[in-house]
Amino acid sequence: MADEGSTKTQTAGVTRRVVLATGAGAAAASILPLDESAQAQMPSAHVETGRKVHLSALINGQRVSLELDSRASLLDLLRERLGYTGTKKGCDHGQCGACTVHLDDRPVSACLTMAAKIDGRQVTTIEGLSTGQDLHPMQQAFIDNDALQCGYCTPGQIMSAVACVTQGRATDPDAIREFMSGNICRCGAYVGILAAVEQAAKVMEG
Amino acid sequence: MPSQVFPEIARVDARDKVLGQALYGADINLPGMLYAMLVPATIAKGRVGELDVRRATETAGVVQVLSIGDFPTLRPEISFLGQPIALVVAETIEAAIEGAEAVTAVYEASPFVALMSSPGAHRVPAEGFSTGDVESAFQNAATIVEGTFETPTQHHNPMELFGTVAEWSGGRLTVYEGCQNVDAVKGALAKALNLSPDAVAVKSEHVGGGFGQKSPPKIQTALVAQAARLTRRPVKLVAPRGQVFHIANYRPRSIHNMRLAANAAGRLDAISYDVVQENIPDGGFRSTGYHEDIARLYAIENFRATAADVHIDRQMPRHTRGTHPFPAGFALESLIDEMAHKLGKDPVQFRLDHQAKKDIIAGQPLSPHFLNDCLTEGAKRFGWSKRVPEPGSMRLDDGTLVGFGVACGIFGASMSASEATLRVRANGTTRMISSGHEMGQGMLTAIANVITQGLDINPDRLEIQLGDTTRGPQIATVGERGTASCIPVALKAVHALRAKFEELAGSNPPAGNLHEQLARLKRPYIEVTATELAPGQDPSALKAFRSGGRAGAGPDYPGFTSMSYIAQFVEIHIDPMTRRIRMPRAVSIADIGRVVSPRTAKGQMYGGVVWGFSTALREETEVDPRFAGYLNDDLADYVIAVNADIGNIDVGLIDQPDPRINSVGVKGMGELVMLGTAPAIANAIYHATGKRIRKLPIRIEDVL
Ligand code: FES
Ligand code: FES
């Protein structure tokens, strides 16, 4: 499933749990409970400790059922248990926006959301935003307007930016700037981010 | 000849980044991986008396606890708050945090010095610099301006935390971590773990922002590697932001006394400059570096500088974006503005009148540069002519105070010896093994542009490898020398490959692009390796490069000195009621030599203005004198510029090659791009209010 083009982003020698994430849109196998057979794709099955909770949720359109430490954040569930490492940890305190994902179509900080809270709900991460080779209009707009440098804040920016448009908040430059101000970009790509949201809003709103 | 203009191409790693597929250190997940958490010391100085790890060891899920004596990093002597005293390794992050919180320590605390102003702070003079006759210049001066300028402790705070993954396999160690200098990390790991350097690999394919923070090896990396060795499982540590504030380096607070003399003709004649900064003994950030770049900015013949450190008991301060020329330039550019006002001259024209041709430190010519073009182009785009000179004279209808400000910046154009290997294959792919680190500055895109302009290859199937010690030696990507080091050698490799192909194909080459031509010639691939030195270097620099040693040179080369230049203009609005300071627009024009990647260079220009704004009006790390720790050690309280802070920014690049520095004429820009913004803002605030603010960050209360 990982094609020629994407292998170059892999690091040699790593069995890539991200394989799931890469193909999330493309039609990856469904994620099974940890004690079942998804081992090939999820080699580091966690030994969960502490008080355990069971949860079942739709993540990027895939049914996920598992048991995990009740203290785990949604961010650590996504990154460390499910391999959706596109969602980044910049502060773990709800202060930077790098971990923004959509929970039932609303943007949330995954670091401030307890994993247990997503039981029965839907989560979309950057990996689930587009399908196959096609980019989401916001992803394309980020490329077109060079709305990034190091790229670390970018997944969170894009998830917030999509919400900015779908919630009808991309009405003028100042409204966009205001909405996007929960997402820090230390590289300072704000000019490009504004331009990207403006471009994508036109496409998304048709 | 360095004459070719490069077209704009898209950022080559943008697609991976918008898909969330670019892998940073902490994104690596390995089978059986454990999670670690550091336990920080809660005193600034003294000794760990007792350390109780029993409860931590008994915590469910905890696999291993390393504590004092288990590894050299974990020392009983404490020299800064937050110094690691233990590492807890567990099956999950949650268990590791619980275990780390269960560790208790009893300390024997010693008195400490938290701040430069703390009682007992020790002042240590450093070497000064003097040229010309400063004393008589001041004696004969017609006009003198002077001031004491202060810039605060600031932390880099790239968005990427300190993430480390360590894995052992057959006695060999592999570390995944965001670095600006993987070779230094490799060397430090080999030493700390008693390994041959050949047994250590460091991989840093993508770096989530560096800004200087990730140049030196980090204190926790070898410890994580040791934990992986003991547990025989891969270990991941992601240090929390609050801990990073205490274990990462930072920009030291510094105080600058500067005096400027002008003669009766209104020409600048002398600078006298005394600087003192906070530091630790043998710290890695020299107080003697402050005068070095700014002394080359204008034609001012007489210059005298002194420097000193005040020793504090905190972790080591180091290079932070803009390094010495940022605080020094804040002082100089504020005083130049003040002098211009005092002499009744326009601040842009006053700077134009002092164009420097000579490097007064090395006593040799400056390479031709275009600072004056930056100033005139910037003034035009900004609409500087609409400025009414009198302070406080420009207002909006609602009473908002308006200020226009300008300032320049300068940074040494250094280079490193380096090497590149280029292979074009008949199967349609191309690979370059280069050297350096992609931190968002656009190095990959710049290299790709050189290759795709020079060779008829498939641009979509070009792979550039760097930031990985297994690919070959990697230059330290610091002091804005990355692009200037890897671009000339990339061009050389392109030329060598073309020559090799011509030799191969003879006078009648087959049709098609290079891949197709190779296929028709039944050659699976051709490959060349090129090396390049900085001006004046001999081959020993290459040897140093290959063995992880110091391979850099400049900005003073034999016979000439090369610098990068910027002119920045800002408009500042101050609300008449709340005194809130805003920056609705900025213009930034730079001379960075030949522009190799216009798109990513512009990205840096935008980002530099944001950094400058942030350092001028937002950022200060507040040191708690009671503990010598940081009060605002998170991203809510350490305030960084956000999108709503930033108005319209117009950027431009002169794009004239420096004919002397290298074959492409490319100079660096990563540090330069933020240098003029803070003094331009301070100067605009003066223009709006008539108040000179000589310390950063500038707050509402400063303009009440
Ligand atoms: S990591 Fe969640 S907001 Fe910063
Ligand atoms: S692109 Fe680096 S933090 Fe935003």
Domain segments of chain A as ranges: 51-128, 130-206
Q: Which of B11, B13, B16, B29 to mutate to test the interface with A (most CBs of A within 10 A)?
A: B29
Identify the pLDDT of residue A46: 74
Contact A9, B16 (CB under 8 A): yes
Residue closest to A142 by CA, chosen among A94, A197, A101:
A197
A187 lines ligand 2 (CB under 6 A): yes
DSSP per-residue letters across chain A? ---HHHHTTSPTT---THHHHHTHHHHPPPPPPTTSSGGGT--S-----SSEEEEEEEETTEEEEEEEETT-BHHHIIIIIS--TTS--S-SSSSS-TTEEEETTEEEETTTSBGGGGTT-EEE-GGGSS-TTPPPHHHHHHHHTT--SS-SSHHHHHHHHHHHHHTT--SSHHHHHHHGGGS--TT--HHHHHHHHHHHHHHHT-
Taking residues B653-680, what's their average pLDDT?
Answer: 97
* CA–CA distances in Å: residue B392 to residues B345, B684, B689, B695: 17, 10, 5, 20
Identify the pLDDT of residue B548: 80
Residue closest to A101 by CA, chosen among A85, A120, A116, A80:
A85
Identify the pLDDT of residue A12: 30
Contact B677, B567 (CB under 8 A): no
Q: Which residue has the tokens 């006759």?
A: B133
Cβ contact B635–A95 (<8 Å): yes
Q: How many helices (H) and strands (E) does chain B have?
A: 17, 31
Identify the pLDDT of residue A30: 34
Contact B18, A143 (CB under 8 A): yes
**Strand runs (DSSP E) across B474-538, as ranges?**
525-532
Taking residues B147-175, what's their average pLDDT?
Answer: 98
Residue A81 Cα to ligand 2 midpoint, Å, equals 25
- Distance from chain centroid for Cα B622: 22
> What pLDDT, in 10s, does the model give residues B491-519?
999 999 999 999 999 999 999 999 999 99
Cβ contact A125–B33 (<8 Å): no
Cβ contact B17–A189 (<8 Å): no
Chain B: nearest CA to A61, how far in angstroms? 16
Cβ contact A88–B95 (<8 Å): no
Cβ contact B30–A43 (<8 Å): yes
Contacts of A46 in chain B (CB under 8 A): 91-92
Selected residue with higher pLDDT from A42 and A34: A42
> What pLDDT, in 10s, does the model give residues B172-217?
999 999 999 999 999 999 999 999 999 999 999 999 999 999 999 9
Contacts of B606 in chain A (CB under 8 A): 188-192
**Interface pTM, i.e. ipTM:** 0.97
Neighbouring C-alpha atoms within 13 Å toward the C-beta of B149: 28
pLDDT at A3 over 60: no
Cβ contact B18–A187 (<8 Å): no
Handedness of CA B529, B532, B537, B543 (dihedral sign): negative
A79 lines ligand 1 (CB under 6 A): no
Residue B274, beta-bridge partner list: B257, B306
Residue closest to B434 by CA, chosen among B174, B443, B552, B21:
B443
A154 lines ligand 2 (CB under 6 A): yes
Contact B149, B695 (CB under 8 A): yes
Contact A93, A75 (CB under 8 A): no
Tell which atom from ligand 1 comes closest to the C-alpha of A110: 2
Search chain A and give the residue with CA nearest B648.
Answer: A191
Tell which atom from ligand 2 comes closest to the C-alpha of A151: 1
Chain A: nearest CA to B468, how far in angstroms? 10
Handedness of CA B263, B268, B272, B275 (dihedral sign): positive
Identify the pLDDT of residue B426: 98
Q: Which residues have CB under 8 Å from B340's CB, separation 6+?
A: B346, B347, B350
Taking residue B504's Cβ as centre, other Cβ atoms within 10 Å add up to: 13
Q: Which residue has the tokens 């609005």?
A: B573
Using only C-alpha atoms, what is the Rg of chain A?
17
Chain A: nearest CA to B473, how far in angstroms? 17
Residue B442 Cα to ligand 2 midpoint, Å, equals 12
B159 lines ligand 2 (CB under 6 A): yes
Tell which atom from ligand 2 comes closest to the C-alpha of B160: 3
Contact B630, B165 (CB under 8 A): no
Residue A96 Cα to ligand 1 midpoint, Å, equals 5
Question: Ligand 2, atom 4: nearest CA belongs to which residue?
Answer: A185
Taking residues B254-268, what's their average pLDDT?
Answer: 98
**A5 Cβ under 8 Å from any chain B Cβ:** yes
Identify the pLDDT of residue A2: 34
Burial of A111 (0-12, 13-18, 19+ CB in 10 A): buried
Contacts of B646 in chain A (CB under 8 A): 177, 188, 190-191
Share of chain B above pLDDT 90, in %: 98
Residue closest to B253 by CA, chosen among B169, B154, B349:
B154
A130 lines ligand 2 (CB under 6 A): no
Angstrom distance (rounded) from CA B645 to CA A185: 12
Ligand nearest to the CA of A186: 2
A34 band by pLDDT with thresholds 50, 70 and 90: very low
Residue type, B492: K
Hey, what are A203's tokens? 């496409």
Using only C-alpha atoms, what is the Rg of chain B?
26
Closest CB to A192: pick one of B27, B31, B603: B603
Let me know if domain B14-21+415-552 sits in CATH 3.30.365.10.
yes
Residue A68, beta-bridge partner list: A53
B4 band by pLDDT with thresholds 50, 70 and 90: confident
Angstrom distance (rounded) from CA B263 to CA B257: 20
Cβ contact B211–A186 (<8 Å): yes
**A91 Cβ under 8 Å from any chain B Cβ:** yes
Angstrom distance (rounded) from CA A57 to CA A118: 6
Residue A95 Cα to ligand 1 midpoint, Å, equals 6
Hey, what are A52's tokens? 């355990």
Q: What's the angle, vertex CA B582, arms to CA B577 and CA B586, rounded to 5?
A: 150
Closest CB to A13: pick one of B23, B174, B635: B174
A183 lines ligand 2 (CB under 6 A): no
Class of the domain covering B254-413+558-703? alpha beta
Instruction: Specify the DSSP element, H or E, that contains B254.
Output: strand B254-262
Closest CB to A83: pick one of B29, B442, B602: B29
Hey, what are A145's tokens? 């307007």
Let me know if domain A51-128 sits in CATH 3.10.20.30.
yes
Taking residues A138-154, what's their average pLDDT?
Answer: 98
Handedness of CA B352, B357, B362, B367 (dihedral sign): positive
Can you tell me whether residue B25 is helix, strand or coil? helix
- Distance from chain centroid for Cα B111: 34
> What pLDDT, in 10s, does the model give residues A40-53?
234 346 789 889 99
Residue closest to B439 by CA, chosen among B477, B412, B476:
B477
Contact B317, B279 (CB under 8 A): yes
B210 lines ligand 2 (CB under 6 A): no
Search chain B and give the residue with CA nearest A79.
Answer: B27
Q: What is the residue extent of each domain of chain B?
A: 14-21+415-552, 33-114, 254-413+558-703
CATH second-level architecture of A130-206?
Answer: Orthogonal Bundle (1.10)
User: Which fold would CATH assign to domain B33-114?
Assistant: Aldehyde Oxidoreductase; domain 3 (3.90.1170)
Ligand nearest to the CA of A88: 1
Q: Which residues have CB under 8 Å from B201's CB, separation 6+?
A: B172, B173, B174, B175, B186, B468, B469, B470
A141 lines ligand 2 (CB under 6 A): no
Closest CB to A76: pick one of B19, B30, B93: B93
**A139 Cβ under 8 Å from any chain B Cβ:** yes
For chain A, positions 99-118, list CB contacts with chain B under 8 A. none
A7 band by pLDDT with thresholds 50, 70 and 90: very low
Q: Which residues have CB under 8 Å from A1's CB, separation 6+?
A: A19, A22, A23, A26, A28
Identify the pLDDT of residue B550: 85
Q: Which of A92, A150, A174 to mutate to test the interface with B (most CBs of B within 10 A)?
A: A150
Identify the pLDDT of residue B3: 59
Angstrom distance (rounded) from CA B197 to CA B195: 6
> What pLDDT, in 10s, does the model give residues B686-695?
999 999 999 9
Angstrom distance (rounded) from CA B619 to CA B613: 9
Q: Phi then psi for B228, rounded to 5 degrees?
A: -65, -35
A19 band by pLDDT with thresholds 50, 70 and 90: very low
Angstrom distance (rounded) from CA B251 to CA B264: 39
A99 lines ligand 1 (CB under 6 A): yes
Q: Which residues have CB under 8 Å from B48's CB, separation 6+?
A: B41, B68, B76, B78, B85, B105, B106, B107, B108
Angstrom distance (rounded) from CA A152 to CA B239: 16
> What pLDDT, in 10s, does the model give residues B205-220?
999 999 999 999 999 9
Cβ contact B441–A149 (<8 Å): yes
Contact B220, B162 (CB under 8 A): yes
SS3 assignment for B608-636? HHHHHHHHHHCCCCCEECCCCEECCCCCC
Contacts of A14 in chain B (CB under 8 A): 28-30
Whether the domain at B14-21+415-552 and the domain at B254-413+558-703 fall into the same CATH topology? yes
Residue closest to A6 by CA, chosen among B430, B435, B15, B174:
B15
Cβ contact B606–A191 (<8 Å): yes
Closest CB to B61: pick one of A49, A90, A127: A49
Search chain B and give the residue with CA nearest A157.
Answer: B18
**A135 Cβ under 8 Å from any chain B Cβ:** yes
Taking residues B422-434, what's their average pLDDT?
Answer: 98
Tell which atom from ligand 2 comes closest to the C-alpha of B440: 2
Search chain B and give the residue with CA nearest A72.
Answer: B94
Angstrom distance (rounded) from CA B401 to CA B578: 12
Taking residues B676-703, what's their average pLDDT?
Answer: 98
pLDDT at B112 over 60: yes
DSSP symbol at B4: P
pLDDT at B521 over 60: yes
> What pLDDT, in 10s, does the model give residues A79-119?
999 999 999 999 999 999 999 999 999 999 999 999 999 99
